[in-house]
């Protein structure tokens, strides 16, 4: 499943399991150089500034020596560490930039806020960031819609990873590295299946957890596939936590299903695959969520994962030897976050969000304002984070049509298409607009 499909269904993930170590001790932690305050610091300053440049406190979060940026993730709460990797990606990027002298002659200070899957806490974090941070960078939260209006009103530039609610992506202050719209979806992946596995198109199936957000996402995926000729013979909304998928698999087998898509967490996908393995049956094409692109999925699913497909819009960590940006991310992740979780799409998005911030800031003078930053972001219509993500258009919030396909072979992620490493297909298919689903707005979809 493509990373763009993630946006509307993260609220379901809040009750599905992604267990890991999270931040503790309050809703905010100040992080300098990618490490906890009080740790080693790199020199501030930038030798490229003209001699005699006078640095001022030009905006909230800007002092003559520091640039404060905020980031918000769900770290504590009912699913500890849900987006820890997104925070780790930000820590790595800050450490990397400060090792090079910071930006605009100033050291970067990261104010990390923990929303904890709680809309009130997200709203409080947004209020704090509005007051004390120049911009938000690398935000990833299931409840990000709770601060959308506040962010818009205070005018804080918001360079989020991947808005997870329609409200969060609708603001004129928001410039995601992975834009998404609730009613838009690219057809390229389905066109690729149709070309390479034509027999599966007439016998498709889809399942999603039984909550409104995943239903909307599932219906959008189904409608997009149908727009290029897919026919769904089975669909089912499952209980939020369903440990027994064997009856679903038995029904799909009897219905002759040849293509199957799961529309939520990788843990449930692993159990579905294991149920298929138990019956010694599986569709020719199994399409699963981009959250499965991590080592924990491989451990959880075991041999049942072999042969599944995942579509992505991020560079592959396994191809870092040919991708200097990915090399930098992985290197600084190790330096700034010892013992970190295995890198995944959320950490990659956060690093890319940092690069978007740097790119936009580089066009401004030494004493930038938020208004100038928003204006600069509004000119960036082609962005890849130096090869970390597929080409995207943050300025227009335009959903990318680019994609790559990977599979699992011998318990390892392997590129399938395009065959050349560190590439994406941006020409196959079109962008489908689902007439049944309204466009995003600050008050909801």
DSSP assignment of 355-378 equals: HHHHHHHTTS-SS--HHHHHHHHT
Residue 3, pLDDT above cutoff 60:
no
Per-residue b/e over 294-307, b at no fewer than 16 CB within 10 Å? bebbbebbeebbbe
pLDDT digits (tens, 9 = 90+) for 49-97: 788 889 999 999 999 999 999 999 999 988 889 899 999 999 999 999 9
Interatomic CA distance for residues 140 and 161, integer angstroms:
6
Tokens for 92? Answer: 């790595």
Average pLDDT value for residue range 330-353: 96
Helix (H, G, I), strand (E, B) or coil at 125: helix
308 within 8 A of 408, measured Cβ to Cβ = yes
Question: Which residue is listed with tokens 């991310």?
Answer: 329
How sure is the predictor about 20, in pLDDT bands with cuts at 50, 70 and 90? Answer: very low
CA distances from 145 to 238, 271, 349 (A): 25, 31, 19
State the Cα angle at 199 between 191 and 421, rounded to 5°. Answer: 45
Average confidence score pLDDT of the chain: 89
Q: What is the pLDDT of residue 1?
A: 44
Q: Lowest-pLDDT range, 10-14, 31-35, 214-218, 221-225?
A: 10-14
Name the residue among 360, 197, 207 with its Cα closest to residue 288: 207
Q: What is the pLDDT of residue 36?
A: 54
Helix (H, G, I), strand (E, B) or coil at 30: strand
Query: Could you give the maximum distance between any two Cα atoms of the chain, in Å?
Result: 77
How sure is the predictor about 242, in pLDDT bands with cuts at 50, 70 and 90? Answer: low
39 within 8 A of 110, measured Cβ to Cβ = no
Q: Lowest-pLDDT range, 4-8, 15-19, 197-201, 317-321?
A: 15-19
Q: What is the pLDDT of residue 4?
A: 44
Q: What is the pLDDT of residue 164?
A: 84
pLDDT digits (tens, 9 = 90+) for 265-301: 888 999 999 999 999 999 999 999 898 999 999 999 9
Domain 3-180+318-377, architecture per CATH: 3-Layer(aba) Sandwich (3.40)
Q: Does the domain spanning 184-316+400-433 belong to CATH 3.40.50.1370? A: no
Q: Lowest-pLDDT range, 163-172, 252-261, 346-355?
A: 163-172
Interatomic CA distance for residues 72 and 121, integer angstroms:
10
Query: DSSP letters along 307-355, please?
Result: T-EEEESB--GGGGGG-HHHHHHHHHHHHHSTTPPPP-HHHHHHHHHHH
Using only C-alpha atoms, the chain has a radius of gyration, in whole angstroms, of 21
Q: What is the pLDDT of residue 299?
A: 95
Give Cα 57 distance to the centre of its chain: 32
Model confidence, pTM: 0.90
Q: Phi and psi (nearest 5°) for 24?
A: -130, 165
CA distances from 430 to 6, 227, 404, 414 (A): 19, 10, 15, 26
Name the residue among 24, 22, 155 with its Cα closest to residue 84: 22
Residue 2, pLDDT above cutoff 90:
no
Name the residue among 283, 346, 284 with its Cα closest to residue 312: 346
pLDDT digits (tens, 9 = 90+) for 92-136: 999 999 999 999 999 999 999 999 999 999 999 999 999 999 999
Name the residue among 114, 124, 112, 130 with its Cα closest to residue 32: 112
Residue 38, pLDDT above cutoff 80:
no
Q: What is the pLDDT of residue 445?
A: 53
Interatomic CA distance for residues 288 and 372, integer angstroms:
40
pLDDT digits (tens, 9 = 90+) for 305-326: 999 999 999 999 999 999 999 9
Work out the number of other CB atoms within 10 angstroms of the CB of residue 322: 13
Query: DSSP letters along 40-87, please?
Result: -------TTSPTT------STTB-SSEEEEEEEE--SSSSTTTTHHHH
Residue 21, pLDDT above cutoff 60:
no
Q: Lowest-pLDDT range, 214-218, 350-354, 359-363?
A: 214-218
Residue 400, pLDDT above cutoff 50:
yes
Residue 393, pLDDT above cutoff 90:
yes
Peptide bond between residue 352 and the one before it cis (omega within 30 degrees of 0): no
Q: What is the pLDDT of residue 210?
A: 85
Tokens for 442? Answer: 């600050």
Residue 10, pLDDT above cutoff 50:
no
Same topology for domains 3-180+318-377 and 184-316+400-433, yes or no? yes
Average pLDDT value for residue range 184-194: 95
C-alpha neighbours within 13 Å on the C-beta side of residue 219: 15
Residue 24, pLDDT above cutoff 70:
no
Residue 46, pLDDT above cutoff 70:
no
Average pLDDT value for residue range 436-445: 77
- Residue spans of the domains in the chain: they are 3-180+318-377, 184-316+400-433
Query: CB-based contacts of 52: which residues, under 8 Å, 6+ apart?
Result: none
How sure is the predictor about 359, in pLDDT bands with cuts at 50, 70 and 90? Answer: very high
């Amino acid at each position: 499943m493509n990373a763009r499909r993630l946006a509307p269904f993260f609220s379901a993930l809040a009750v599905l399991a992604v267990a890991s170590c999270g931040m503790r001790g309050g809703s905010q932690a100040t992080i300098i150089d990618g490490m906890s305050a009080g740790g080693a610091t790199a020199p501030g300053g930038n030798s490229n500034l003209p001699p005699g440049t006078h640095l001022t406190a030009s905006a909230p979060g800007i002092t003559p020596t520091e640039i404060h940026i905020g980031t918000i993730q769900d770290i504590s709460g009912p699913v500890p560490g849900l987006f820890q990797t997104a925070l780790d990606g930000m820590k790595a990027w800050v450490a990397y930039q400060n090792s090079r002298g910071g930006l605009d002659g100033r050291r970067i200070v990261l104010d990390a806020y923990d929303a904890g899957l709680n809309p009130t806490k997200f709203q409080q974090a947004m209020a704090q960031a509005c007051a004390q941070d120049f911009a938000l960078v690398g935000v990833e939260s299931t409840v990000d819609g709770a601060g959308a209006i506040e962010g818009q009103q205070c005018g804080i530039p918001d360079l989020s990873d991947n808005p997870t609610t329609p409200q969060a992506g609708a603001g004129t202050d928001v410039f995601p590295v992975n834009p998404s719209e609730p009613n838009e979806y690219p057809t390229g992946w389905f066109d690729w299946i149709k070309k390479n596995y034509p027999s599966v198109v007439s016998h498709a199936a889809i399942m999603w957890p039984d909550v409104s957000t995943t239903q909307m996402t599932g219906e959008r995926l189904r409608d997009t596939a149908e727009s290029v000729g897919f026919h769904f013979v089975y669909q089912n909304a499952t209980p939020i936590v369903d440990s027994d998928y064997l009856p679903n698999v038995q029904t799909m087998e009897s219905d002759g299903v040849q293509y199957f898509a799961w529309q939520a967490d990788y843990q449930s996908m692993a159990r579905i695959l294991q149920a298929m393995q138990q019956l010694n049956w599986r569709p020719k094409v199994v399409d699963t969520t981009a959250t499965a692109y991590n080592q924990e999925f491989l451990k959880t699913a075991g041999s049942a994962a072999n042969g599944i497909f995942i579509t992505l819009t991020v560079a592959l960590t396994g191809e870092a030897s040919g991708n200097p940006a990915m090399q930098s991310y992985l290197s600084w992740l190790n330096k700034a976050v010892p013992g970190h979780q295995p890198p995944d799409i959320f950490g990659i998005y956060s690093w890319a969000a940092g690069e978007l911030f740097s790119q936009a800031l580089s066009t401004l003078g030494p004493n930038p304002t938020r208004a100038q930053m928003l204006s600069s972001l509004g000119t960036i219509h082609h962005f890849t984070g130096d090869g970390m993500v597929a080409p995207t258009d943050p300025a227009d919030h335009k959903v990318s049509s680019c994609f790559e396909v990977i599979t699992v072979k011998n318990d390892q992620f392997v590129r399938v298409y395009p065959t050349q490493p560190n590439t994406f297909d941006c020409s196959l298919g079109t962008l489908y607009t689902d007439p049944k689903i309204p466009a995003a707005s600050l008050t909801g979809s």
